Amino acid sequence: MSAVWDYVCGFDEGVGERLKELWHPFAEGKADEQQQQLTAEGGANGVHTGHDFSHSDELLSFESTCRALAHPPEETSVRVDLTKVTVDEALQRVRDYIAAKYKDVAAHADVTVSIHPVLSDVLIMPLVGPRTPTKQDVYAVVDMGCGMAVLRGADVFAPGVVAAHPGMKEGDCVSVYANVSGHFTTGDVAWHDEATVAYLGNGRCVQGRATLFCQRDAKAGLAIEMTDPVFLSPCLSELDTIVQLQNVPSCVAAHLLGVERNPTWRVLDMCAAPGGKTIHIASLMRGNGEIHALERSRKRATQLADKVAEYKNIQVHHADATKCIKKGLFEAESFDAVLLDAPCSGLGQRPRFHHPFSRTDFDRSSVYQQKLADVAIEALKPGGALVYSTCTINPEENEGVVSYILQNHGAAVQLEPQEPYRIGDPGMMYPGLTPTELRHLQRFYPDKHRAIGFFLAKFTKLPKM
């Protein structure tokens, strides 16, 4: 990775150390003879046994992963809404948009658009960067959330601006920095050491400092249009009626359900907000079938309902998925497919300068996921498909939950291979999982797969004996 963007993602106290322990379970002679035998068998069959392989080109270190997490994914991907447009039509619209958006940026020709070789409804664009735009004297400093969005191709909106040059005015060419260390406070005019910020590129000022900080009304609207970013990563927000930004691993989840071949199915999306995967399922079903989307947060459920209102086959429910059968919202064994995209630590999301996830939350993160898995299996018809996914690199929330499912529901479900949608790697070694089972899992490593960190497992519910 280029030294131009030499950042490493940090974790709260204790979390990074625990992740290292989980990624190196066989270090320091801790493995018993059976585990050592599995390691040897797994290594011979292409199964990851951890990431402490400093001499391997394929198995990169935990430190390499942390560095990748601070870098935007090497590919931008968008999912085409097949209920509104064909893939070829969307492809041309996206190409035209990028050519117009970056016509004044020298590197714009490098932003090519193509159809994903495995996921036929997904378009991919390589990340261009890190580039080295000329830094300007006039600057703006944005919060971490805004900075991460800019790295994925967004412009700067007013609520994200923390500080600005005292003379910043509308029309200025402005250098934009992320407040990585937190040294800048709201309205700051004094410049701090550049080592405390991350340079994001240049843009055109739409709202000057006086408008942003000296008026009583709350900050709102576009503040800086990014015209020359460090990373060219189109966000395509103006095309969001036909394509949606969605990471490639997230797109795999809906395909694994098999709804494209079974468009009349009744589907349960247990933890649906913000709705990207829900809409993807509806797109693959071409508006047919029946999709029930659950969200336990009232606010997020309302936002989800607004987002999916035009899709007549989606019903949104404000409900805790762990109680959806117990409280009578649904009957047991009433769904043909269940997507459990579980709430998780999010430790695979990128770019991140820091993952603010406490050790306490980390240690108990898989408990709720196990409860959700219990209900998912109960809700599924015999012969139905369950897909479990997370956007974390934490083995306890990934392979650990699969191990829990097989130990507690092994007579009811069968772990399935993920072909033809296998793009990532097999699972990591984990107690209770055989090499064959690990090969049925799918992991995406940020330092290897040009994407976020992600995990997928697919199960079929077996007929009752």
Catalytic positions are 391
Angstrom distance (rounded) from CA 87 to CA 71: 29
Dump the DSSP string for 173-231.
Answer: EEEEEE-SSS---TT--S---GGGSEEEEEEEESS-HHHHHSSSSPP-SEEEEEEEESS
Backbone angles phi, psi at 399, to 5 degrees: -60, -35
Q: Which residue from 254, 17, 320 is spatially nearest to 122, judged by alpha carbons?
A: 254
Query: What is the Cα–Cα distance from 234 to 232, expressed in whole angstroms?
Result: 6
Distance between start and end Cα atoms, the chain? 54
* Cβ neighbours around 367 below 10 Å, total: 10
Distances (CA, A) of 294 to 112, 267, 280, 306, 381: 37, 11, 15, 14, 18
Nearest to 270 by CA among 338, 371, 217, 199: 338
Helix, strand, or coil (residue 290): strand
- The Cβ of residue 187 has, within 10 Å, a number of other Cβ atoms equal to 13
Asked if residue 329 lies in contact with residue 375, where contact means CB atoms within 8 angstroms, the answer is no
The helix/strand count (H/E) of the chain reads as: 13, 20
With H, G, I as helix, E, B as strand and everything else as coil, classify residue 459. strand
3-state secondary structure of 47: coil
- The helix or strand, by DSSP H or E, that contains position 292, with its residue range, turns out to be strand 290-295
> Is 424:446 a contact under the CB 8 Å cutoff?
no
